Amino acid sequence: MTPRSDVLYHDIITIACDWRFDLYFDPDFGNCYSFSARGKNGDVLSASEADFWQDENDLILLLDVELEEFNEKRRDPGLVLTVHGVDILPDIHTDGIQVEPGFNYNFAVQQSITKLLPFPYKTNCTDFSTLQWVSEDSFPSPRMCTVRCSQYFQLSNCGFVTERLSMFYSALPWDPDEITEEQKDCARKMERKTKLYCKSLCGLPCEDMRFEVAVDTRHLTNEAVLSFNPRLEMREILRNRRDNLAMVRIYYKSIERKIYEHVPKYDNQELFSYLGGYSGVWLGFSLLNMYELLEIVVATIKFALTKPREQTTSDQKIQKQPFCTQNSKKLFEDVIVTDSLVFVPKNQTLWKLKNRKP
């Protein structure tokens, strides 16, 4: 596609619609066009739920790839399309979808918003509105934020921006004939110096708006191309250009938005209430545990004092009443009483002899 906006038409050749297109240059993809829902005359395109009486309000684009003007051999001819918010610069590398000629594409989109928390929370997002190099009209992607950051410091300190980063300007903010070698050296040094610094600043945005896209693809037919414009004078032109054309239909899968919001686990008021509740519970359990500990200590001391006394009493009982069997007790009584026991050899009976003669 060429950078001239006067070749952009609603129906290829007759009605110009350049008031809805903005030229955007990317060093990797060249000239890019942004089709905005907000026109330069102030009107805004809107979408609503379809019903039986409502006309179709989908956005249908018939795109000409212009294969005859494609000279780059490293890439296949085609287009890269991305859906983004009105106030957000597109990130083609991340969200771009390849569109090839000869195909009909259906893009079902749904908007999703992710809200993150800044430092000291783990998400550590960046509020782009607080950065000096971000305008109020559009918010860049993290990739473009690093570009704008380096451009800002180079232009502020050197009055010049290196050639690689100056390609992002639609119009150079300096006069090329008045730039000196010192300014060029200053810009190169500033680019190396601010590289890591700009990456650290341009993290994830605190509010990131994206469009989830479901793609359906089929071959482009003559009927689909000719139905785009019913006028007879256009049919021959469209028929001859069919191999260069790609049709894209973009519609809302759902007009509801998905919002993913990270919130702090506790706010200021809840934090103190939780701390008070936890401390009260801990204090209650601590008092109960202290009473249990005191009871255990008293029981241990009492047991230690009573055990030696019981052991002494039992020893005394053993000395007074020695252990004996029924037979040994009878023998003991006979010895003490009669003193007349005579033992005979083993395995023989025991004799009691009273008044034994010598």
* Domain limits, the chain: 9-114+208-265, 126-203, 268-296
Instruction: Tell me whether strands 103-115 and 245-252 are parallel, antiparallel or unpaired.
Output: parallel
What pLDDT was estimated at residue 342? 46
Which residues have C-beta within 8 Å of that of residue 343, sequence separation ≥ 6? 350
Phi then psi dihedrals of residue 180, to 5 deg: -100, 170
> Cα(118)–Cα(140) distance, rounded to whole angstroms?
18
Contact 103, 218 (CB under 8 A): yes
**Residue 50 token pair:** 């379809």
The model's confidence at residue 189, banded by pLDDT at 50, 70 and 90, is: very high
Q: What is the pTM of this model?
A: 0.62
Mean pLDDT of the 47-59 span: 67
Give residue 46's pLDDT band: very low, low, confident or very high (50, 70, 90). confident
What mean pLDDT is predicted for residues 259-282?
69
Q: What percent of the chain has pLDDT over 70?
A: 67
CA–CA dist 84, 39 (Å, integer): 16
Q: Where are the beta strands (DSSP E) in the chain?
A: 21-26, 30-35, 59-64, 79-81, 97-99, 103-115, 207-219, 245-252, 258-261, 341-342, 351-352
Residue 35, beta-bridge partner list: 21
Task: Note the Cα 298 to chain centre separation in Å.
Answer: 57
Q: Return the closest-CA partner of residue 249 out of 66, 122, 103, 92.
A: 103
Q: What gap in Å lies between CA 85 and CA 106, rounded to an integer?
A: 19
Residue pair 147/199 in contact by the 8 Å Cβ criterion: no
The Cα 93–Cα 80 span in angstroms is 9
Question: Is the predicted pLDDT of residue 260 greater than 70, yes or no?
Answer: yes
Question: Superfamily assignment of 9-114+208-265 in CATH?
Answer: Acid-sensing ion channels like domains (2.60.470.10)
What whole-number distance in Å separates Cα of residue 285 and Cα of residue 279? 10
